[in-house]
Structure 1
Amino acid sequence: MTFWIRRIAFYLVTLWAAVSLNFLLPRILPGDPVAIMLGKLRRGGRQLSQETVDAVTALLGGDRGSSLWDQYLAYWGRMLHGDLGISSTRYPTPVGELIGQALPWTVTLVGAATIISFVLGIIGGAWVGWFRGTWVDQLVPITTFLQSIPYFWLALVLVAVFSVQLGLLPIIGAYDVFEYPMGPDWSLPFFGSVFVHALLPAATIVISSVGGWLLGMRNMMVQTMAEDYVLTAEAKGLRPSRIRSAYAARNASIPSLAGFGIALGFVVAGSIVTEQVFSYPGIGKLMIQAVQGLDYALMQGVFLVITLTVLAANFLIDLLYGFIDPRVRRNG
């Protein structure tokens, strides 16, 4: 019970610190973010309601006759009600709506690519570790080399080969905008278009990240195979396939769960470079647009969503660790 209480308390404190930092950042920036954002919103002679002005002030601060503590309480109140403010670059669209539109694309693309990369890396690492010293060990330097290639360069190479030279796959977008000019219609042909457009971005993420999982699993596999319980299983005459799967690979994969939890948490952050290269309408591309347009409310909203997702993923992994390995509960 002590383990669970400590974990919950730790993540609650971390959540409070993250939200508080999100509140303070625009207030410690040089200049007046409130004036900047209100000026952007008033471009073209737009008339802003008092509610919009108050919302921007509550999110970004400013000298509006209220103390910092009152602004902090008002900020928490708006966060708890899901009010992330109004985007200045896409006025009058709420920040929450923009994030809601981009989030499914990122979760589907980056989430699926991360899971595929993890599964391939764990299976490949277990196989390479079991047959260490043979020709299969050559997979390690090959995948490590692919991992060292910059995302944007690999993405451009894939585009040049499969889109420009061979003409097999589309270059940009999440679906064919000419075929579906009114947006997603959730039909079977539409999902086919989404799948085809996701192939190159997903391949970029998988190729760039599978090497890390494979190398880590391979090293843990070699270390685990030297443990006494594996040697005992071999001495008992158990089948090699059973020793590999039930004894060696199962225990060697446990440390990778922590990294997988962090990777899943950062799925929401998207693969910023990949989404930018392929003009994929995810959170990563939205974040770049927010920074380029000095859209403080949108930057705050994206940062908050990413932080909450990372904390939630790590919390779930901590709970899973507690169930898998009792030593964690005793030492935690």
Structure 2
Amino acid sequence: MKTLARRIGFYVIAFWAAVSLNFLIPRLMPGNPVDIMLSKLAQHGPVTPATRHSIELLLGADSSQSLWSQYVSYLGQLVHGDLGVSVSLYPTPVSTVIAQTLPWTIGLIGISTVISFVLGVGLGTFAGWKRGSWLDSLIPVTTMFQSIPYFWLALILLYLFGSVWMISPLNGGYDVYTTSPGWNAPFVGSVISHGILPAATIVVSSIGGWMLGMRNMMVSTLAEDYIVTAEAKGLRPGRIMRTYAARNAVLPSVAGFAISLGFVVAGSIVTEAVFSYPGIGSALLNAVNANDYALMQGIFLVITLSVLGANLLVDLLYAVIDPRTRQRG
């Protein structure tokens, strides 16, 4: 229990530090969201000082307050779940923007990450167990795809399957002309057809790393004394591979998977930009371009929570996979 309490305490401190940086970084960037909003309002008539002050209060950038006062107000808003109002999508609340874009990113990037991890670790396990087989010759091919710049691979696949052979849609998350969002067959089918190519790009570009890492760890693990002992006892090869070798070899991959899973919420900005996918990565890119402090802070907060949560989950999962990591307080 003491070990668990120490870990949770560490993550609480890490979360506070991340929230503080989340507050400071956008304010150190050039530009001012209030001026951006005022420039939009000025197109419809003169803007009074009272209007400017109201917008400052609305966006949490009150110039009459010190930085410390703004920080305290920001923490108070977080406690009440108030993430502010988006400047670039005014008057839409930040929480609404995140709620609209986050499911797209989790659905695409999350599922693709899980598929690439499962396939990579599974193939790497067999490649390490059966050294010299055809799976070993497959590893250089997969790592070659990983070495190709991500945006270049996405553009190639988009050109081939979207323009030349016309198998996949070119952009978007669904067909906005023939379907409407909802739990109906046409919409779900459209979402799947629009997501296959971006998902395939992520899987093809990342499976090589999981496969190579797991294969190398399997080779190292198979040389350990407890594997030799298990073989000498006459245990079934399948049990040795799964229970003794793979269970220990997968630990580094689990740690890497936790980091990847945490950054799923951040989305792949390159993927969503190339395929014009309506995920949270595109929302973050638009927020940076528009100096939308509130939206940037909201997205960074969600990313922080996801990364810390994923790492905490893996810390707990490590104790289940490898009991040797448990410590008595």
The answer to whether the 8 A contact 1:184-1:190 is kept is: yes
The answer to whether the 8 A contact 2:62-2:70 is kept is: no
Could you tell me how far apart the structure 2 residues matched to 1:63 and 1:245 are? 61
The answer to whether the 8 A contact 1:105-1:282 is kept is: yes
1:28-47 aligned within 5 A: 28-30=28-30, 33-40=32-39, 42-45=41-44
- Structure 1 residue 44: deviation in Å? 3.2
- Structure 1 residue 302: deviation in Å? 1.2
- Structure 1 residue 35: deviation in Å? 3.8
Q: Which residue of 2 aligns with 1:327?
A: 324
Could you tell me how far apart the structure 1 residues matched to 2:82 and 2:109 are? 26
The answer to which of 152-161 and 100-109 deviates more is: 152-161
**1:126 and 2:125 correspond:** yes
Number of residue pairs aligned between Structure 1 and Structure 2:
325
**1:80 and 2:83 correspond:** no
Change (3 A) 1:43 1:301: farther
Q: CA RMSD in A?
A: 2.0
1:48-197 aligned within 5 A: 52-56=55-59, 58=60, 61-64=61-64, 66-180=65-179, 183-197=180-194
The answer to which of 236-245 and 225-234 deviates more is: 236-245
Amino acid at match of 1:290: A
The answer to which of 68-77 and 103-112 deviates more is: 68-77
5+ residue gaps, structure 2, are none
* Deviations 1:20-58, CA, capped at 9 Å, x for gaps: 111122333456x254344255353388596643131x3
Percent identity over the alignment is 57
Could you tell me how far apart the structure 1 residues matched to 2:92 and 2:214 are? 45
Change (3 A) 1:75 1:37: farther
* Deviations 1:71-111, CA, capped at 9 Å, x for gaps: 22211011122211111111111111111100000000000
| 2:204 aligned residue (207, 210, 227) | 207
**1:307 and 2:307 correspond:** no
Q: Which residue of 2 aligns with 1:276?
A: 273
| 1:285 aligned residue (271, 282, 285) | 282
- Structure 1 residue 311: deviation in Å? 0.8
Q: Which residue of 2 aligns with 1:26?
A: 26
The answer to whether the 8 A contact 2:38-2:52 is kept is: no
Could you tell me how far apart the structure 2 residues matched to 1:305 and 1:202 are? 22
Residue aligned with 2:227, SS: helix
Residue aligned with 1:280, SS: coil
| 1:235 aligned residue (232, 240, 250) | 232
Amino acid at match of 2:21: L
- Structure 1 residue 132: deviation in Å? 1.3
Could you tell me how far apart the structure 2 residues matched to 1:37 and 1:78 are? 23
Q: Which residue of 1 aligns with 2:293?
A: 296
The answer to whether the 8 A contact 2:123-2:211 is kept is: yes
Residue aligned with 1:330, SS: coil
Could you tell me how far apart the structure 1 residues matched to 2:164 and 2:301 are? 41
Q: Which residue of 2 aligns with 1:11?
A: 11
Amino acid at match of 1:268: V
Residue aligned with 2:169, SS: coil
TM-score in terms of structure 1 length: 0.92
Could you tell me how far apart the structure 1 residues matched to 2:54 and 2:158 are? 46
The answer to whether the 8 A contact 1:41-1:91 is kept is: no
* Deviations 1:169-214, CA, capped at 9 Å, x for gaps: 111011111112xx40220221111111100000000001001100
The answer to whether the 8 A contact 1:40-1:88 is kept is: no
Amino acid at match of 1:228: D
- Structure 1 residue 11: deviation in Å? 0.4
Amino acid at match of 1:53: E
Residue aligned with 1:27, SS: helix
Could you tell me how far apart the structure 1 residues matched to 2:29 and 2:283 are? 22
- Structure 1 residue 240: deviation in Å? 1.6
